[in-house]
Amino acid sequence: KSFKVYRLASCYVFLTNRGQQEVVMGQNRFLRESAYQLVDGPVYAIDPQTGKQLWKTQIDDQALESLPPYNSPVLMFNKHRAPGQFNGAFGQNDYLVRIVDLRTGDLLYENNRVEGVSPWRMQIQPTRQLVTIRFSENVIEIELTKEPLKSS
């Protein structure tokens, strides 16, 4: 088990990982590892002034590939999904991408068929309340309201 804390403009982000898990592919067994920060468990946002928990959300088996810009209003997680080998041919690789609102912990975007997430670039336009994430083959635009949506 492990955890990591990141300081962003609006909060501290506390990421947890339940530890290495065994992955079984056919008769082969592997330990799940990643060169990136693996998140598998609760994610917390902590107010830097008071130390109080702002929100908590669950992220299972996702990577935080790199820290977003310091003033980012979102966190992006992804998971590589290789379909494996079928009849001697490999299928196409894709990624599960989740984007979380840093103000509330709510899920803003989820897509389980994004191709080629690396390299990626995030552009934040505060005056337009717009976050644009550009991947090698895809673009995601998220328009934020001035006030976060109420959690349901």
Strands 74-81 and 139-143: unpaired
Which domains occur in the chain, in start order? 2-117 (2.40.10.480)
Q: What is the mean pLDDT of the chain?
A: 78
Q: What is the 3-state secondary structure (H, E, C) of 94-141?
A: EEEEEEEECCCCCEEEEEEEECCCCCCEEEEEHHHCEEEEECCCCEEE
Q: What is the pLDDT of residue 38?
A: 80
Strands 89-90 and 53-64: unpaired
Place 96 in a pLDDT band, splitting at 50, 70 and 90: confident
Average pLDDT over residues 73-95: 67
The model carries a pTM of: 0.73
CB-based contact 2:19 (threshold 8 Å): yes
Average pLDDT over residues 49-61: 93
Alpha-carbon Rg for the chain, nearest whole angstrom, is 17
Length of the chain: 152
The predicted-structure confidence for 134-143, as pLDDT tens digits, reads as follows 887 788 898 8
Q: Across 23-32, 93-102, 109-118, which has the greatest mean pLDDT?
A: 93-102
